[in-house]
Structure 1
Amino acid sequence: MTTRVALVGASGKLGTIIHRVIDGLDGIEVTHALGSRDTFASLSEVDLVVDATHPVVSAEVVAEAIAARVNVLVATSGWSADRISALRPAVAEAGIGVVFIPNFSLGSIVATALAAAAGRLFDSVEIVEAHRDTKIDSPSGTAVRTAELIAAAREVPVAAPHVDQRARGQQVASVPVHSLRRPGVIARQDVILSGPGESLTITHDTIDSAAAYAPGIAIAVRSALDVTGIVVGLENFVDIGIGAPAGGDQ
């Protein structure tokens, strides 16, 4: 029996990559390729909804999937921990699963896990993330996720002097985040941790998004079919060997 998938945002850059990956999976097929302006009434006809739209539309897609009682994999960034937590009652009532993946790259989740582990040891932590100039949201979902996991690993907020000044970046879970949007960039994140007499920088650089995301997309699509409740982060489906998964239900 074929697993039917509705891919919303199918013609976008990420949507195209996701479509290609699903085409290569046995027993799983994109039966509904939808755009951001299409009606979502047909979501009740599928086994899984994959959202690859943009932040404004993503909320509508998730709401429609919950109403249709269909599991949904959210590949759209811009979802904060507070927004995700607000979905808990509706998701529980529907008895479905909602999976949020800020970044499909395996290297990215390793870098984030390392940053969360190191964040316990350094009082000064800042994130500099760069994406292409066409990316709508900032900070990136990956940067938000990294900052939240660093804060969760600490007993006290990071030291962030002069954050009242706009040039100091946007604070996410107490961590200053600086977003660059420039042409010629795919995705790069530097987590800079500083302590007395030393500094540690953890860098992840995406060179080819299609190649980097494909393994994670395959894992996420298969895993999202069987999830109940809310799960955030690809690390919940991959054993990266750096402590216990830091995500899980929200």
Structure 2
Amino acid sequence: MTIKVAIAGARGRLGSAALKSIMNAPNMEVVAALDYKYEGQYLHVTEVNDVPGGIPIYTSLENLAAVNKPDVLLDVTDPDAVFKNVHDAISLGIRPVVGTSGLSKGNIALLTELAAENQIGGIIAPNFSIGAVLMMKFTATAARYLGDIEILEMHHDKKVDAPSGTAVKTAEMIQAVRESHKQGHSDEKEHLAGARGADFDGMKIHSIRLPGLLAHQEVLLGGKGELLSIRHDSFDRTSFMPGILMAIHNVMERQDLVYGLENIID
């Protein structure tokens, strides 16, 4: 069986890498691209023109679905577009695989409920890197024993949201196993606002944005007389491709929406 995939955000850096990866997968086919412009034109890997033979571009998911009938929508767009895209996909019977961060807890809850009502499989993954997901799982295990934690997430300077979805998901996984408490000195004062980072259940999250970075995270877990550091680095967007392909396969076999790639990794 060939899985028909539509991509929202196919012209972006992650989207174009995913496009090539899916096109080279033996049992997958990219049937269309969802975009906010270029209706009626064609995507030829990275070039857009009106020459037939490329991937047709639509600005309406409903029209895209009527013509191409995709099994899966891979969304790698931006926080402003992703909720509507995923909501519409589920309503149309298309399984969403989401690599866009920025969805709120409320958004995720609504989409999870909608997927359950429609018995549609879906995955929202703050990070598609297998190594990053393992980093999060290892951190959650360590947090049972070392509960004073700070998260440093580092990304390229074109990333618009902070903290990253990976950092938030890591903190949520830690929160589930860590006794809530405030870290640092009880009389701690910031002489520059934000110096101690964002507060998440007493933990601190620091967001770094610099050219030259791609996607990196280090979690520091402190104990009496010791420090454990767990770090993951993605140096190239190819690191996300195995997770994307895994997620596309997985949603074809499920009837619910899950948040986090760790839910499909043993």
TM-score (norm 1): 0.88
Of residues 224, 228, 243, the one that matches 1:200 is: 228
Q: Where does 1:1-250 land on structure 2 (aligned, <5 Å)?
A: 1-37=1-37, 38-41=59-62, 42-43=64-65, 45-154=69-178, 156-161=179-184, 162=188, 166-210=194-238, 212-239=239-266
Q: What do residues 59-112 of structure 1 show as CA deviations (whole Å, max 9, x unaligned)? A: 110111122122110111122444312323322222212211111111111111
Q: Note closer, same or farther for the CA distance 1:70–1:184 as it changes in structure 2 (3 Å cut).
A: same
Q: What is the CA-CA distance between 1:172 and the residue it aligns to?
A: 3.1
User: Residue 153 of structure 1 aligns to a residue in which SS?
Assistant: coil
* Residue identity (%): 38
Q: Which amino acid aligns with 1:231?
A: V
State the shift of 1:36 in Å: 3.8
State how far apart, in whole Å, the 2-side matches of 1:173 and 1:12 are: 34
Cα 1:232–1:199 shift into 2, 3 Å: same
1:12–1:163: structure 2 CA closer, same or farther, 3 Å change rule? farther
> What value does the CA root-mean-square deviation take over the aligned residues?
1.8
Q: What does the per-residue CA deviation read over 1:181-236, in whole Å, with 9 as the maximum and x for residues that have no partner?
A: 110101110101111111111111112222x1122122111112222112122222
The structure with more radius of gyration: 2
- C-alpha distance in structure 2 between counterparts of 1:158 and 1:122, whole Å: 12
Q: Quick one: distance in 2 between partners of 1:201 and 1:176? A: 15
Contact 1:131 1:187 in 2 (8 A): yes
Moved more, 196-205 or 170-179: 170-179
Change (3 A) 1:173 1:80: farther
Contact 2:181 2:202 in 1 (8 A): yes
Length-normalised TM-score, structure 2:
0.83
Q: Aligned in 2, Cα 1:14/1:36: closer, same or farther, shift over 3 Å?
A: farther
CA, structure 1 residues 163+133, in 2 after alignment: closer, same or farther (shift >3 Å)?
Answer: farther
Task: Structure 2: give runs of 5+ residues left out of the alignment.
Answer: 38-58
User: Take 1:214 and 1:202, find their aligned partners in 2: how far apart are those partners?
Assistant: 22
**What is the DSSP-based 3-state SS (H/G/I as helix, E as strand, rest coil) of the residue aligned with 2:144?**
coil
More moved, 115-124 vs 76-85: 76-85
